[in-house]
Structure 1
Amino acid sequence: MKVFSRHRLLAAAALVVASLLPLSAQTVSKDSLQRYNYFFLEGLRQQGMGNMAAAFDLFRHARDLNPRAAEVYYELAGFYADLKDDRRMAENFRRAAALAPDNPVYQERLGQLHITQKEYDKAIDAYERLYSASKARVDVLEILFQLYASKNDYKGMISVLERMEVLEGSNEQISLSKMQIYEQMGEKHKEYDELRSLVAKHPFDYDYKVMLGNWLLQNGRKADALKAYREVLKDEPDNVMAQLSLYDYYRETKAFRQADGLLVQLLQSRKTGKDTKMALLRQTIADHQEAGAKDSTAVLGYFDKALALPQEDADLVLMKAAYMTLVKAPVEAVNRVYEQAIAVEPENSHARLSLIQNVWDAADYDRVIALCRPAQQYAPENMAFYYYQGLAEFQKGDNDAALTTFQKGVGQINKDSNPNIVSDFYAIMGDILHGKGMDTEAFAAYDSCLQWKPDNIFALNNYAYYLSLKGIDLQKAEQMSYKTVQAEPDNSTYLDTYAWILFLEKRYGEAKTYIEQALRDKDSLSNVVIEHVGDIYSMNGDTAKALEYWQKALDKGNDSPTLKKKIAQQKYIAE
């Protein structure tokens, strides 16, 4: 037989047996009881020693001797649970609970079993019996409450809450739960009485009185609600909860002038929390839009009132910036708000990046650099700041500074880094290194770029073209270039690169096909590309067209000595 993994302390088990044996003694002969006791206790002893197979056999034999012994069914149920025999486990737990209905352990285990099997009515019965035997157990009442709630048995839920009040005394949570249930039952008078009782028990807790006012307002008793709010504000004029409720009252009764005054008071109060102010402003924006108002000046005025106080963080400022963006305020005006956010919270990356992106669109590269540098101190792990700074330096032609910035950014790369940003880092580094004549380092950078993003089209094109210029790894260059042509089949730059690689591989007919596709955008072609067109026509035997395009390349400023030799000798000459 399989050895089971259950362990029980022999001493504890013996105590359970001692408490239950009198029940068994009433139903069996003295001889059978003695034999039962021996086998059951021996089963417990073997179980305590870890001899689970032997214990299982002893318990089953004990059951046969005394079929009315609850404790042996309980023990056997545990073995069947280990055997994954759910049917026999359930049968034995039920038998144990039925034979010993006053045993809290058995009733609780039976209740748990019914819950797992979604037999909620039976679970309720088991836990009600358990509560009858253990009236001080709040945890049992909590489970009963959930069980009654699963059946929408409101009366049962109220009964449980009332029993909790006997054990714990009345408290806010119980009262609020009873109110909610009474509301679901449609018994408004009981809900109201419960709330009034809560107010009476806590006369100096104004929140309850405000809650009472809110209930009155929701139930159409507006005059009584107003009275409740004013009573609170008379004793505590800066009570935010009462002010908010009174604000809702004014809005509902269309007393818009009073509502506006109270809104300003709440926005300017130090006691009004930031989240509350943001909620009020969101509501104000929604009201403004719902009314179809196009002038945002009034809403911005509310923001200014809220922001007149010193801010602990940039959240409210950023909310203003978001609203200004929504209503299409001038970019420079929005940027001033982002600057205000950064002044309040210099380490706020969202505010700084939003400003950087706006400044980038204006091509103000010096300002981009100035915004990025301090950000690298506040958030050294955020690669976006290295990216924008390096790109701005690259756009300014300061390649050495850009390379240094990108190398610093590369030092922050980890497994969670944004693949698009990392890939672009390496791609631009490759371009810069190639421009410095450091092709080995450039090609290594491109390889890193493509590891992070294999479909980085710009890097694929540049890498392929630079390999072709050196005349190395042409097969690799062709494969990379073909990906760019597949991705953007009308891009003349990519078509030229692919055609030129085919040309170097002496696949002149294919090269002609692709270079002629590039010619569809001939006005944008550089003089180098136009020279390539002539080279390809020359090697395809069309000297007249070759001379035509070589001359065009020369006219566009291509002063290559080799180009002049091609024209003079009317044939292709390799560099």
Structure 2
Amino acid sequence: MSNLLRYRVGLVGLLAFGLTKPALSQDEPQKPQAESPSSTAESPDVKGYQQQESDDVALPLKPLVPRSAAITARNEALSWYMTGRLLDSTHRNEPRKALNAFRKAVKLDPEAVEIYRELVPLELQHENLEAAVRYASKAVQLDPDDVEILQLLARQAAISGQLPEAIKHLEQAIKSPRILKTSPEYVGLNKSLGLLYAVTGQKESAADCYEILFDAIKDPEKYGLDSRAKKSLLADPTSTYERIGQILLDGDRLKPALEAFELAGTTRQGAGNLAYNRARVLLLSDKPEEALAELQKYFDAQRTSKGRDAYRLLAEILEKLNKSDELIGRLETLAENDAQNVALQYYLAERLTDVNELERARKIYDTMLQSGGDASGYAGLARVLRKMQKSDDLLDALGRGMARGEEAIASLESEVKALAEDKALVAMLIESGRTRAKAGELKLDEAILLAKLAAALKEADASEEFFQLALSLPPSPNRPKIATQIEFADTMARLRKYRVAAEAYHEILESGQLTEKGRAWTYFSLTQVLTRDNQIDKALEAITKAIQLDDDNYEFRLFESGIYTHARRWDEALLKLEQVMTDFPDVPEVITRAQFSLSNVYVQKGEMRKGEEILEKVLEMDPESSQANNDLGYLWAEQGKNLERAEKMIRKALQAEPENPAYLDSLGWVLFKLDRIEEAIPPLEQATQNSFGGDATLWDHLGDVLLKAMQTEKAIEAWQTALEHSEEENSPDVELMERIREKLKQHGAQSRPKPAEKGSP
């Protein structure tokens, strides 16, 4: 449709509803002037509308039946919709106004799917991903067969790492009656869905999809694929056929997999890999001897394209033949004849490390890294040095590896995680780092590493010490200062050094290096630490700034209500929760979370029945809600009522989340109330083990149950632990602490003395 024709269609639509012109250059539509007695149709002074002087005067129509509020809203929505279309199509330099117009339209008529189809791409264009996904989800509710919107949702979910959600959307799209099973669109959907299945380990489903893709490549006319479409699918024939073969092989489709590998082998690039791929098929066909002979052809050609996978395949074949003891010898022979093959040399070093041939393995790593071998070798070298307990050399190797960039850092992650389990070695590394710092020899990446290791051991002071050292050193291309500042602030928040974290977030905000959204999220992080530090007024200031920067982010709005709840300002919390539900009526997650928060506020406020009523309404809408079943069951258990029903509800919640410590605590507590003491102990013990935060209430409940079971000493231990956890909290439950102290006093026990703080005599 031409711009002129589109404008005429829009203008006719607007005039049909009594509007004189679209608001092309305003954020708000022009409101009709209020009628006065002198401007009615009966008045001789009425001006009306004439395009030319000779035209009859067009007078405003006065409907016999006044429009309803719903019709008026729809009409106004249509005007904003058409305004948005005009701004988006004829005024390319005004996409923001078009976006605002569509937003107004959808608020007025949230059931019009056409508005969402225009709005979602604009939200994405402006990088408003959360809003785009929210509107797209609503569009799919209105039209479950909208393939384009479903694909958009799948793409955004995949980008966000929510692969199960992406798969769900593509599965819905591929079942749409608008998709013909002999169409190019069907082939494309199978390709995308098959890839996601493969990534998430759903091998059979991935193979199903890729069989369709393979069939389409072999018989493009069957699926209506023209030459351009087929060329697009086979942009790189070698990798495409190999990927198809791999996925079919993983799904035990051996015959079509071999066919795909053979097609890959017809290209010059793929010919060298054919022996390797044939060996894999032969092994899965239970022909290990033939597989070994075929794989040897790959080795004889000194191919390197398959990297370590070729040597892993050799290990599998030898294991199948009960000849695993030959592996290192065969690898050494290959390595002697191919000294520059990095993957081979590293794989040999790994196997030597496995059998504690540490000096030989270290020599290989040192040689390859000195000659420019890829940075993943630092992870192997670090493993060797860790096993050798050489802290100075280990710190040097880890630092050099981290300095090589993101790829090397990623390869080091598993080794650093293993290292964090060895507290004695970490202590040695920290002392080595302090010695280097005093001599002015500590490097940036070494300081960052030591800060992380100290944090992993919950050594907050040491972590802060090395982060501060890192910030005092010159930044590197791989590690700009802002990245270190962010990691420092987040780590201090996690270690409960809230004042230090708040100061770090302030410095980040003052750096001038953040985008608008980055500033919004940093204010949100600042809000969280200020809240936990009970700086309520400052927390409210910070969350207000976050909301001003991103007023469409419901996460900020929900947390704002949580600040008031934390401060026990119940009425203000309730107002904020009601407001967020009003502002996000079409976002189920917001409504659900707000309802649970409302219930919690009423309960804490002492209005128990109101809290129960909200949960009862949630269960009417969603009887399977695990949180609602647990929360209501726990409230009843606390009051000693409806106990049998409460037990059933809590068990239902646990079926959905069997490891949830809160649900386990609820079960133990309701069993205690039912006087089933022996049954109550195991879930409460499991709850205390599963709780990351060491919730004092869980330990208090366990103490009460153990006392009833005549296990007084264990009960005292549980109460003492509960008291310790309470004292660690920034906003402890004072009443709970007093109750625990009274219990300890009644049984002739005291709370454990606090450990002396650093610097105490």
Range of TM-score over shorter length:
0.3 to 0.5
Larger radius of gyration, structure 1 or 2? 1
The structure with the largest helix share of the pair is: 1
User: When the two structures are superposed, what TM-score results if normalisation uses the length of structure 2?
Assistant: 0.33
TM-score (norm 1): 0.42
